[in-house]
Amino acid sequence: MYPYRYFLVFLAIPLCFSGRLVQCRPSEHLEKSSNYRVNSSIPTSPSPSSKNYNPPQISSSVFNVLSYGALGDGSSDDTQAFKTAWDLACEANVPAVVLVPAHYTFLIQSTVFTGPCENVLVFQAIRFYGSSNLTVQGVKIKNSPHFHFRFDYCDNVRIDSLYINSPATSPNTDGIHVENCNDVKIYNSIIANGDDCVSIGTGSYNVDIRNITCGPSHGISIGSLGTKNTRACVSNITVSDSVIILSDNGVRIKTWQGGFGSVSRVAFANIRMDRVRNPIIIDQYYCENSKGKCPNQSSAVYISGVSYTSIKGTYDPRDPPVSFACSDTVPCTNLTLRAIQLSPAAGKVNRLRAPFCWKAYGDDEKHHCLADGLPKLLPVRDADKC
């Protein structure tokens, strides 16, 4: 667990902050000292505003940013209002809520929100849009109604030592979602939720994910990509030194039929699986159609240059340990499997399912099921170039 009193959210932006709820609650766990300290080299917070506010007394449990001068019109600078609400909630010695109302868009300039606080901070949902040089560290977030953390159109992002916790049955509660971002580092975090621990969307490049404890969840995923016949481009993604526990999937790439673009230069390495249902999976027939199967389409996102190294542990034998369901017309190429050691979890097993490969080509030292070389016909499409 991460009962943080010291944490850091460093914003070098501007940031458009959509309305959500931020809560400060006493920790339910035993308190312990933390190694996290505020970096003294980071600029200090803005000075108190000169506006004549009538803030609630410190005994109040709700600190609404609108009460401190925030306008939420998407163009006015609401930085000081957020700082005032944050600081008062942080100083409160009773459970406190920083209320960021829905249906507003708040603009925040470069600033620092820091502890230590009288209460351990518990967030519900945070989105960063159009941000650069951003650090999020030592934050605890739980029970989000949707994505816990979302990063869109961001550059140079470091995410470190997060604790994310939501029920395994809660739908669409991705822990960390990254889309249209470059140079993202996600390190040293514990995530349990009802969807992907980390999901990588289109337009994401140079993402490094390391030392993540994931699960129960849907694993660590690239995608889904290519929905509604759209173009998707993802490259230079690494996932390493992590553990995935009691999850529906381990490391997954998922794309819709009909999309185009490419996924390339992806490496999964040194990952331990613990009773995971689909430890290694590529699914190019991903479909979330409640009415039944999605229609067959010939176009697909091109997947190439994906390596799996030292993936070990146990899997749920209801599904195969390796499953590559690639497109009929745009096969997966240059897949590599090395040092894969996956055993069925303890329990009654009537019949083990063999590794599954469909239109999947590459190099497999243990001959799981990959076809050698390249397909005879590999379509070359300008639309797949990213």
What is the set of active-site residues? Answer: 218
Contacts of 151 (CB under 8 A, 6+ apart): 127, 128, 131, 134, 157, 176, 177, 178, 179, 181, 184
Among 358, 47, 355, 384, which residue's Cα sits nearest to residue 235? 384
| Separation between Cα atoms, residue 224 and residue 307, nearest integer Å | 19
| Separation between Cα atoms, residue 140 and residue 117, nearest integer Å | 13
**Residue 306: half-sphere exposure toward Cβ, Cα within 13 Å:** 25
| Separation between Cα atoms, residue 274 and residue 95, nearest integer Å | 37
Contacts of 63 (CB under 8 A, 6+ apart): 55, 56, 85, 86, 88, 89, 92, 96, 97, 98, 99
Neighbours of 269 (CB within 10 A): 18
Q: How far is CA 318 from CA 188, 209, 278, in A?
A: 31, 28, 9
| Separation between Cα atoms, residue 127 and residue 17, nearest integer Å | 7
Residue 362 in 3-state DSSP? strand
Structure-token pair, residue 155: 């550059």
Q: Count of residues for the chain?
A: 386
233 pairs with which residues across the strands?
A: 262
